[in-house]
Amino acid sequence: MIDFKDFYKRALENGLGRFEDEFRCILDTRFHQHYHGELSHWLEAIAALPAIAAQPIQFGDSISISSTKPIEPQSKDQLLDCLKLFHPWRKGPFNLFGIEIDTEWRSNLKWQRVLPHIQSLKNRKILDIGCGNAYYGWQMLAEQPRWVLGVDPSQKFMMQFLIMKRFANNYPIDYLPLRGEDLPARMAAFDTVFSMGVLYHRRSPFDHLEELKQCLVAGGELVLETLVIEGGQNHVLVPANRYAQMRNVWFIPSTTTLAGWLERVGFDEVKLVDISQTTTTEQRTTDWMRFHSLEDYLAPDNPHLTIEGYPAPLRATFVARNPR
C-alpha cells in the first residue's frame, strides 16, 4: 500500500541508513500488520484525485496551495469530498486550491508563540513527534530546513498529510505512522526535535524525555510544549480519571517541576519561553471538526476549571539543549 520509499531515500541521505532494517521491521510490526479498516478506501480516494498543476506553497497562518490555472468545478467538488472524508481536521488551517480548511485548532497561534524562541531551522534535520497531520512540519519548511520527519500513529492524520503531499511533492518532508517510543533507540541524528502536546499522554514522562534526548545530535535543541499547572517544585497534577474529557492524560507538572525533569534526564540550557492559557479562540468546533471541543470541556459556570474541576488547560513551551 505505502512503501515509504521517499523516507528511506532521505533517511539514507541524512545519516540514518544504518537504521533502515530496523525502520522496516518497526513499520511492518506497527503499521503494515495493523492497517485501519478504511485504509484501502482512503488511499483509493487520494489516488483518484484529479491532477492539478500546483504553485509553490504559500506560507502564512494557513498552509496554502494554489493552482496555476482555473480548476474545473467537478474537480474541485471531488477534492472537497476527499478532504471531508478525513474529518476531523484537528491542526491547521490549510487552504487547498481555494478550499478553506478551518481546523479545530488555530495552530498558527501556537507556531507564532514558538518560532521566535527557537534556533534557526535552516539546513537542520528536524523530527516532530506526535505531529498530527504535520501542519507544523509544513510550517517548518518555510525556514528552509534540510529535512523534516513527522511521526504520529494516526493513519487518518497521515492521509491528511498525503493529500497535501500529492500537490506539494518536491518538499523535504516525510511522515511515519509511528509513536515516538517506536523509533530506534540512540539515533542521535536530528538537530531539532519537537514534542508538542505529547508529554501528558505518556504514562512515563521520563521515558519520553529520554527518548527525545536520544534522537538529538550532541548540541541539538529540544522544543517541548505541553500542559502545565501553576505551582512550585514537585507539584504535579495526576488526574483521577479524565482531564478535559481526555482519558489518556497522566501527568501535568508545574513549570518548575518540568524544568527539573528536563535537567534530571540530562538536558542543559533549559528555558521556559512561553506560557499561555488555551482559549476558545484557539481551540473550537468548526465545520471541519464537528465533535466537542474546548468549550464543552470547561465547567459551564467557571471557565477557569475543566468540567472535572481541575485547572483549565495552561500550556508551556520549553527549549533545552542536548549537551555535547
Which tens digits make up the pLDDT trace of 106-147?
999 999 999 999 999 999 999 999 999 999 999 999 999 999
CA-to-CA distance for 182 and 198, rounded, in angstroms?
A: 14
CA distance between the termini of the chain: 41
Averaged pLDDT, 275-293 = 98
From its phi and psi, is residue 234 left (phi > 0), alpha (psi between -120 and 50) or beta? left
Sequence-separated (6 or more) residues with CB below 8 Å from residue 215: 127, 129, 183, 187, 188, 189, 190, 193
Range of the domain at 275: 5-321
What local confidence, expressed as pLDDT, does residue 32 receive?
Answer: 96
* Residue 208, beta-bridge partner list: none
Sign of CA dihedral 72, 73, 75, 76: positive
Q: Among residues 250, 315, 247, which one has the least CA distance to residue 279?
A: 315
Q: Average pLDDT of 46-62? A: 97
Q: Which residues pair with 320 in a beta bridge?
A: 222
**Residue that is written with C-alpha cell 496554502 in the block:** 64
Separation of alpha carbons 180 and 155, rounded Å? 15
Selection from 31, 17, 22, 91 nearest residue 61 by Cα: 91
Task: With cut-offs at 50, 70 and 90, classify the pLDDT of residue 288.
Answer: very high
Please give the tally of structural domains in the chain.
1
pLDDT above 70 covers what percent of the chain? Answer: 100
Q: What is the pTM of this model?
A: 0.98
What does the pLDDT read at residue 324?
82
Rounded to 5°, angle at Cα 303 from 281 and 239 = 105
Q: Locate 59 and state its grid cell.
A: 506560507
What pLDDT score does 246 carry?
97
Element (H, E) at 101: strand 99-101
Structure confidence at residue 193 (pLDDT): 99
Q: Average pLDDT, whole number, for the chain? A: 98
pLDDT of 189 > 90? The answer is yes
**How many alpha carbons lie under 13 Å from residue 262 in its C-beta half-sphere?**
29
Distance CA 282, CA 274 (A): 16
Task: Determine the Cα–Cα distance for residues 312 and 315; give it in Å rounded to an integer.
Answer: 10
Q: What is the mean pLDDT of residues 272-292?
A: 99
User: Does an H or E element contain 222, and which?
Assistant: strand 216-228
Give residue-wise pLDDT tens across range 199-258: 999 999 999 999 999 999 999 999 999 999 999 999 999 999 999 999 999 999 999 999
Strand 125-129 with 147-151, pairing: parallel
Domain containing residue 201: CATH number? 3.40.50.150
Query: What's the average model confidence in pLDDT over 147-176?
Result: 98
pLDDT of residue 1: 78
With cell 518538499, the residue in question is 171
